[in-house]
Structure 1
């Protein structure tokens, strides 16, 4: 799950509490180079995030003596691309849940670069460890490197490929979120919801970060309910 420690309502933490109450194991972590994990943010890439998650799943399998049978992959915002790639590669039964997924080109508005003031605040910085120049971009509390953001922007995404993947998928969108408007419209145009294993849900009035307690509580509740519906009580749920 993509997230940080300065969210308005600590959604990842609250999701963890709800998961625990409902008997669902939830793993939250800092990617390599972010938060309290080792490494530097300038090393972060889509590939490194995918690798971090796959290694974490292998760790869980070892902890559970390889009795883990299914996994729910959750991606939030730009983390959706990472989640989809993990779902392709993991060797377990998968269900995929995406919150306000940004699956296509990242616009300057999404990055907060739509104003002259914000553009003036970007300063080319030489990383002291790797001796490389980059634009460190603080975005909703996260320090991102421009190479990673460029990778997200330029990576092609095949929506047909996602739709045809043979596992259940749940997409949540904020009703007032302009950042995911293109993704939502393309899913609807491709008749995403005609597949009985696909669900698309709007959180009425919600913005990109679900920055109201009511919105975050609603999406957490619906996510846990949906996850439980697609697993059996005899399985280890992650």
Structure 2
């Protein structure tokens, strides 16, 4: 079952979709009626649907396996109100935490199994949120941005940034980007926050990604492995582009992510039993 919801973020209404676990999947990952939660963070000027329905397919796949899934539109994107480029990455982190507040208010969500999944700029936002918010226990990053300012500048072009600085705003595909947006990208450094997150991490990236370099994936893994706590596993999706636009790429991404989530749950249970 799926339900459209609205989450209040100050005066802004964040539109979201909540996916309830399928009955057939509950026995796979749910204990005592409690469901693990996945919150999906979309990328730059994206939406909760995703390019070629990337997040719709993912949410339904995960819900079939027994997960509660919440995907939402950041302010100014999709159906949400507000202005996207007004506040930038800092606001995205705040919005993600407000969405977590809402999701954890659902009485049958397991607060000990909260997974934040982010794609592209949403991957960086997910990491930065997890570094601040201990409620996030597991992190999944698809084709994640590593250098927010440089990566987004490469997408929008130098002229767009120059116009924003010179005139107070610039237009990119109908979105108004202001200097504060670019300043927030420059101020946030995901690599510097990695050690603050002690949970387990799954990384995926397409080898044919022309938007965000696939090399970021292995670099992220090396830095995550330098932490004192937490596991990190990585999968490269052969010939997949930035948005996993082919059916085969999507299926492989969904299957490998779900396989890792299932494996990680089993690993944690076995470790807990060993400790006892």
Displacement of 1:19 in angstroms is: 1.3
The answer to whether residue 111 in structure 2 is matched with residue 111 in structure 1 is: no
* Aligned counterpart for 2:213 among listed residues 177, 180, 186: 180
Q: Hey, what's the Cα distance between the residues in 1 that align with 2:139 and 2:240?
A: 21
Report SS of the residue matched to 1:103: coil
Question: What 5-or-longer segments of structure 1 have no aligned partner?
Answer: 126-131
User: How much has 1:210 moved relative to structure 2?
Assistant: 1.4
- TM-score for the superposition, normalised by structure 2: 0.66
**2: CA distance, partners of 1:144 / 1:217:** 34
Q: Secondary structure at the match of 1:41?
A: coil
Q: Is the 8 A contact 1:81 1:103 kept in 2?
A: yes
Q: Distance in 1 between matches of 2:255 and 2:95?
A: 27
The 3-state SS of whatever aligns with 1:159 is helix
- 2:86/2:181 contact within 8 Å kept: no
2:140/2:201 contact within 8 Å kept:
yes
Query: Offset of 1:198 from its aligned partner?
Result: 0.8
Structure 2: any 5+ residue segments left out of the alignment? 1-40, 270-276
Structure 2 residue aligned with 1:137? 172
Spell out the pairing of 1:129-168 with structure 2 (5 A cutoff).
133-138=168-173, 143=175, 145-147=177-179, 150-151=182-183, 153-157=185-189, 159=191, 161-162=193-194, 165-168=197-200
Relative to total residues, which structure has the larger helix share, 1 or 2? 2
Matching of residues 7-46 of structure 1 within 5 Å? 7-46=50-89
1:116-127 to 2 correspondence within 5 Å? Answer: none
**How many angstroms does 1:79 deviate by?**
1.4
Mapped contact 2:209–2:240 kept (Cα < 8 A): yes
Aligned-partner Cα distance in 2 for 1:27–1:147: 31
Q: Return the structure number with greater relative CO, CA threshold 8 A, min gap 6.
A: 1
Offset at 1:190? 4.8
Q: Is 2:93–2:129's contact at 8 Å kept on the other side of the alignment?
A: yes
Q: Which residue among 77, 81, 93 is the counterpart of 2:124?
A: 81
2:137 aligns with 94
Aligned residues: 219
Q: CA deviation at 1:100?
A: 0.6
Moved more, 147-156 or 72-81: 147-156
Give the alignment partner of residue 253 of structure 2, picking from 215, 219, 235: 219
Give the Cα–Cα distance (whole angstroms) in 2 for the partners of residues 160 and 54 of structure 1: 20
